[in-house]
């Protein structure tokens, strides 16, 4: 046998290289983890719901710019050319009576509104309030989608943990059943004990199937909200730096909650709509200038020029009471928006109460569940020893294991609830994106108002073609998409059985489960599909 001895310095370099390699691998694994903040950022960037709200805000601002146009000069060009004929039935008959003339004329009319009872000004202010409401709803939609992403993220990690617990629970019941079967074959246990062990194994398998179903549901919500497959997730931790009292949370909610700010903007819009109805009871005064050049007209033979500048006034004295009823309608709409604003304030108070209760009361519940889990674990250990000595029955042993499993499930769920309550409280205050330092879309900014509530004018961009289509609907790989559900020429897809929903190894058993970043055994992620290709080109 030949032994090769390496120099000491070479062994030192080899050991150092091994340590650095291990550190780099651990760092790469940590970098590959997709945190809950990453999921929220991805949802805010790519979710079509945010794009829908931003497009609505831009469209609403376009409506406001249209109303601003009524305060600017209106210029209209007119031109006409063609045969004209005028026949007068008078005596004596004029020369050329009834003859056709090739008349031509062109005119330009400039009209400037001077006064309409402030109806146009109030309409601009109403539209501006609608733009601000749409801006706040962009932030509202972004916060809600971010909260949905946080909930989906927490649910996926929570059910991964519950699936792992359920699988460990089945292994324990398998061992108990194996032990009972050996006792039954040796004559030390009855058939009732064996059937009881079989029943508990079946119940544990049913619980595992239910948790896997819920995990699938959580993954589906994650895909819908975030737009990615839930890979490399880790259970999030509690958030720090939150308000220390419920009153502080309420004050922040009243100031920054986008739902309340949008509702207040709707109240402002309804008030301006009511004020605008007063213009219908006042005259409309405008300045109008006209210049015309024509030739060979039936009324004016030869060439002519006309120039005029007039102050034009009009006043609808009576139109069947329409203006009065319109003003009454605007008044009731204003009352409706005021009550809606009050209702939303109460709902904001309720959401703060619920989130605060979930954070505080569930904290106490988590502490109690930790003690319960530890006590249940010790009970299981003691009952196992006493069962081997014949001092405990099989029912006692199975009940202790079931109690321990239920305590672990309750503790896992309670921890998920407390983490989600932190994000729920931030969303109720309208501060979740600000806390996570996630920039909302620029459309979330309200209008910049100048003194005397005057908004700067902007020229509209000219669009010569229709906008490009939005993001495509999500399509799961492997599922055929037909042009019509009534196409009978297309063969039906193969039926997917329940067992096919889960990957199996070569020997037909369940896939192996390794330790995840959560600190517990988690199911291995399925093979990647081209789901993420749907989101290529989305700005990061």
For 85-135, give the DSSP string.
E-----SSPPTTTT-EEEEEEEEEEEEEEEESTTHHHHHHHHHHHHHHHHH
Is 250 contained in some domain?
A: yes
* pLDDT of the residue at 134: 96
Rg over alpha carbons for the chain, rounded to the nearest Å, is 38
The answer to whether the beta carbons of residues 165 and 99 sit under 8 Å apart is: no
Is 466 contained in some domain?
A: no
CA-wise closest residue to 291 among 307, 314, 303, 275: 307
CA-wise closest residue to 288 among 306, 307, 312: 312
DSSP state of 92: S
Between vectors from CA 535 to CA 532 and to CA 540, what angle results, nearest 5°? Answer: 110
CA-wise closest residue to 356 among 247, 261, 436: 247
**Dihedral sign for Cα atoms in the order 484, 490, 496, 501:** negative
DSSP state of 375: H
* pLDDT of the residue at 302: 78
Is 464 contained in some domain?
A: no
DSSP string, 503-515: ---TTSSPPPEEE
* pLDDT of the residue at 383: 86
Is 2 contained in some domain?
A: no
Cα 469 to chain centroid distance, Å, stands at 20
Residue 451 sits in a domain whose CATH number is: 1.20.1600.10
d(CA 161, CA 73): 68
User: What pLDDT tens digit does each residue of the chain (540 aa) get?
Assistant: 334 343 444 344 434 444 444 444 444 444 468 899 999 999 999 999 999 999 999 999 999 999 999 999 999 999 999 888 877 777 777 766 767 888 899 999 999 999 999 999 999 999 999 999 999 999 999 999 999 999 999 999 999 999 999 999 999 888 888 877 887 777 776 778 788 888 889 999 999 999 999 999 999 999 999 999 999 999 999 998 899 888 999 999 999 999 999 999 999 999 999 999 999 999 999 999 999 998 877 677 778 889 999 999 999 999 999 999 999 999 999 999 999 999 999 998 898 988 888 888 888 899 999 999 999 999 988 988 887 888 888 888 888 888 999 999 999 999 999 999 999 999 999 999 999 998 899 999 998 776 555 667 777 777 777 777 666 655 444 334 333 333 434 344 443 333 333 344 444 444 333 333 333 333 343 343 443 443 344 343
pTM score, two decimals? 0.75
Task: Give the strand order in the sheet containing 74-85.
Answer: 74-85, 100-115, 284-295, 303-314
Q: Which residues contact 286 (CB under 8 A, 6 or more apart)?
A: 111, 112, 113, 114, 311, 312, 313
The enclosing H or E element of 224 equals helix 191-226
The answer to whether the beta carbons of residues 195 and 14 sit under 8 Å apart is: no
The answer to whether the beta carbons of residues 65 and 46 sit under 8 Å apart is: no
**Which backbone phi and psi does 415 adopt, to 5 degrees?**
-65, -40
Domain count within the chain: 1
CA-wise closest residue to 261 among 273, 250, 271, 253: 253
Q: What is the largest CA-CA distance in the chain?
A: 143
d(CA 281, CA 291): 32
Provide the domain limits for residue 243: 8-459+471-535
Is 324 contained in some domain?
A: yes
The answer to whether the beta carbons of residues 304 and 297 sit under 8 Å apart is: yes
Alpha carbon separation from 497 to 349, 494, 500, 502 (Å, rounded): 47, 9, 5, 10
**Which backbone phi and psi does 468 adopt, to 5 degrees?**
-70, 155
Is 448 contained in some domain?
A: yes
* pLDDT of the residue at 182: 80
d(CA 39, CA 96): 85
Is 1 contained in some domain?
A: no
CA-wise closest residue to 54 among 443, 467, 469: 443
């Amino acid at each position: 046998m030949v032994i090769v001895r390496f120099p000491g310095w070479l062994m030192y370099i080899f050991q150092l290289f091994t340590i650095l390699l291990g550190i780099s691998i651990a760092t790469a694994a940590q970098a590959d983890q997709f945190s809950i903040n990453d999921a929220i950022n991805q949802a805010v960037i790519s979710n079509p719901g945010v794009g829908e709200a931003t497009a609505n805000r831009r469209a609403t601002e376009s409506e406001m710019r249209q109303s601003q146009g009524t305060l600017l000069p209106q210029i209209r060009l007119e031109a006409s050319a063609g045969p004209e004929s005028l026949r007068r039935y008078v005596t004596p008959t004029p020369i050329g009576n009834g003859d056709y003339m090739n008349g031509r004329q062109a005119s330009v009319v400039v009209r400037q509104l001077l006064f309409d009872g402030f109806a146009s000004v109030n309409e601009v202010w109403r539209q501006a309030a609608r733009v601000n409401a749409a801006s706040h709803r962009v932030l509202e939609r972004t916060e809600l989608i971010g909260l949905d992403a946080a909930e989906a993220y927490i649910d996926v990690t929570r059910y991964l943990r519950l699936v792992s617990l359920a699988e460990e629970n089945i292994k324990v019941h398998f061992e108990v059943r194996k032990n009972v079967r050996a006792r039954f074959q040796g004559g030390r246990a009855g058939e009732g004990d064996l059937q009881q062990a079989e029943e508990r194994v079946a119940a544990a398998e049913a619980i595992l199937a239910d948790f896997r179903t819920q995990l699938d549901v959580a993954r589906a919500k994650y895909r819908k909200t975030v737009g990615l497959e839930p890979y490399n997730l880790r259970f999030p931790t509690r958030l720090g730096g939150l308000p220390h009292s419920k009153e502080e949370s309420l004050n922040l909610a009243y100031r920054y909650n986008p739902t309340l700010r949008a509702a207040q903007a709707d109240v402002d819009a309804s008030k301006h709509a009511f004020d605008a109805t007063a213009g219908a009871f006042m005259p409309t005064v405008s300045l109008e200038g006209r210049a015309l050049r024509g030739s060979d007209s039936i009324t004016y033979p030869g060439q002519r020029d006309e120039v005029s500048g007039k102050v034009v006034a009009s006043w609808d004295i009576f139109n069947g009471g329409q203006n009065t009823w319109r003003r009454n309608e605007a008044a009731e709409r204003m009352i409706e928006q005021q009550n809606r604003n009050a209702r939303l304030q109460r709902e904001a108070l309720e959401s703060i109460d619920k989130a605060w209760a979930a954070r505080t009361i569930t904290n106490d519940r988590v502490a109690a569940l930790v003690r319960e889990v530890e006590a249940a674990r010790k009970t299981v250990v003691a009952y196992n020893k006493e069962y081997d000595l014949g001092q405990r029955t099989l029912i006692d042993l199975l009940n202790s294991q079931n109690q321990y499993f239920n305590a672990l499930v309750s503790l896992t769920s309670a921890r998920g609830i407390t983490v989600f309550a932190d994000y729920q409280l931030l969303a109720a205050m309208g501060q979740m994106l600000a806390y996570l330092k996630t920039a909302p879309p620029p459309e979330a900014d309200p209008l910049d108002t100048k003194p005397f509530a005057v908004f700067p004018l902007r020229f509209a961009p000219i669009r010569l073609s229709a906008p490009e289509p939005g993001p495509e609907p999500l399509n799961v790989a492997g599922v055929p998409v037909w042009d019509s559900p009534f196409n009978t020429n297309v063969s039906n897809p193969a039926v997917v059985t329940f067992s096919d929903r889960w990957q199996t190894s070569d020997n037909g058993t369940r896939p192996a489960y390794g330790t995840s970043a959560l600190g517990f055994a988690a199911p291995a992620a399925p093979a990647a599909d081209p789901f993420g290709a749907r989101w290529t080109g989305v700005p990061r």
